[in-house]
Amino acid sequence: MVPSTALFTDRYELTMLQAALRSGAAHRRSVFEVFTRRLPEGRRYGVVCGTGRVLDAVENFRFDNSILSFLERERVVDAPTLEWLAGYRFRGDILGYPEGEVYFPGSPIMRIEGTFAEAVLLETVVLSILNHDSAIAAAASRMAVAASGRPLMEMGARRTHELAAVAASRAAYVGGFASSSNLAAGFRYGLPTIGTSAHAFTLLHDDERDAFTAQVESLGRGTTLLVDTFDVASAVRAAVEIAGAELGAVRIDSGDLLLLAHRVRQQLDDLGAKNTRIVVTSDLDEYAIASLAAAPVDAYGVGTSLVTGSGQPTCSMVYKLVARATSDEPGAPLVPVAKKSMGGKTSIGGRKWAARRLDADGVAEAEVIGTGPVPGPLADRQLLVPLVLGGETVHREPLDAARARHIEIRAGLPLSATQLSRGEPVLHTEYITH
């Protein structure tokens, strides 16, 4: 049985529901949008990730007897609200940027439309997923750019919450990573998994040669041997003597990685192991990866920096009501609504569309967001796609499709998008309102 996601929420979602049921406004058709007012400082684009997990969460948003008993016991809501929650199903529509797309300030990343009662309850779980997964995917994308086509391996499970680690592995894959050390992610999402041994395995044995021999005999000559437990040069020599030229790879997890990679490559070549790859780990981020661009490194393993968003663990996405019907009558017209406040927290009312305008060379030049009719030239460049219609999921795709989409979309951005230095969003946002 799949666990319910109904309590992945904040209490005030339910108290708002109770008050709206009492006032009679709960059943007004409403439009909520997910967007961010700004990108994390210095970032040039964001990456949409977590869409598939949002769809799972919406499908499993159910108030079973145990949850209803908890809400009653804690006096979170009254009896009429509990009765309404017992039959809760989201029966509205969700449109959104497809997973792997990029986004910019103001982009309506996801649009949730239904009654106020059914749509408001999804706010917290939707934001929880999108804020986390999109932050990880953006960090992964930057690291993939820095790696210039060399494989990246995600290995950050021990640096974050055990459930967040699985989501992070998934997001890293969308952002461009090739594999993960996390077996739960492999089981749940079909990600390729990797891993051989740690320093503890070497230290378990009487000497390094015994450890290498045991690993090669168990896992084959194509395994990866960890060579920095004691002396790197001695370990590389022993590794090749034991595994031969067929040794798959050596891993370096400490020290001056740039210097060591050059020395190890020369040593491997001199020993005849010219096809043995060099894998480096050790607290890498996109900047460290970029600094190794000229080094003879074949693959990178990244942990802490990746699963914490490389310093930006959230995208500051919000979930705002932008339009609502004038009454709960089926044909009641929608009217735009928006918060007006000081401090940069204003929003633009109205149900929005989004499109990306290209220049004469086919390179993206602006994110265009509007209400009302879509201008003809932008009609075939719209970004929102149906995800849920009438409560039924209509958009499911393999994770590989999201990963491939991101690589393609990123390649269509201005070249400055791939710079790691701090800068403004690579596309400006234009608004067309009616």
Question: Tens digits of per-residue pLDDT, 28-86?
Answer: 999 999 999 999 988 999 999 999 999 999 999 999 999 999 999 999 999 999 999 99
Token couple for 281? 């780990």
Contacts of 381 (CB under 8 A, 6+ apart): 355, 356, 357, 358
> What is the percentage of the chain residues whose pLDDT exceeds 70?
99
pLDDT, position 2? 62
Q: Compute the distance between CA of residue 434 and CA of residue 416 in angstroms, rounded to an integer.
A: 33
Q: For residue 267, is pLDDT > 90? A: yes
pLDDT, position 433? 81
Q: For residue 1, is pLDDT > 60? A: no
In this structure, are residues 35 and 109 in contact, taking their beta carbons and an 8 Å threshold? yes
Instruction: Kindly state the average pLDDT of the residues 270-288.
Output: 97
Closest CA to 286 of 177, 392, 200, 370: 177
DSSP per-residue letters across 207-272: SHHHHHHHHHHHH-TTSEEE--SS-HHHHHHHHHHHHGGG--EEEE-SS-HHHHHHHHHHHHHHTT
Question: Tens digits of per-residue pLDDT, 112-158?
Answer: 999 999 999 999 999 999 999 999 999 999 999 999 999 999 999 99
pLDDT, position 207? 96
Question: Tens digits of per-residue pLDDT, 107-117?
Answer: 999 999 999 99
Give ranges for CATH 3.20.140.10 in the chain. 11-135+312-432
Contacts of 329 (CB under 8 A, 6+ apart): none
* Mean pLDDT score of the chain: 96
Tell me the pLDDT band of 342, cut-offs 50, 70 and 90.
Answer: low
> What is the percentage of the chain residues whose pLDDT exceeds 90?
94
Tell me the pLDDT band of 246, cut-offs 50, 70 and 90.
Answer: very high
Give ranges for CATH 3.20.20.70 in the chain. 196-277
pTM of the model: 0.95
Q: Which CATH number fits domain 11-135+312-432: 3.20.140.10, 3.20.20.70, 3.30.930.10, 3.30.365.10?
A: 3.20.140.10
Closest CA to 152 of 142, 160, 161: 142
Q: Which CATH class name applies to 196-277?
A: alpha beta
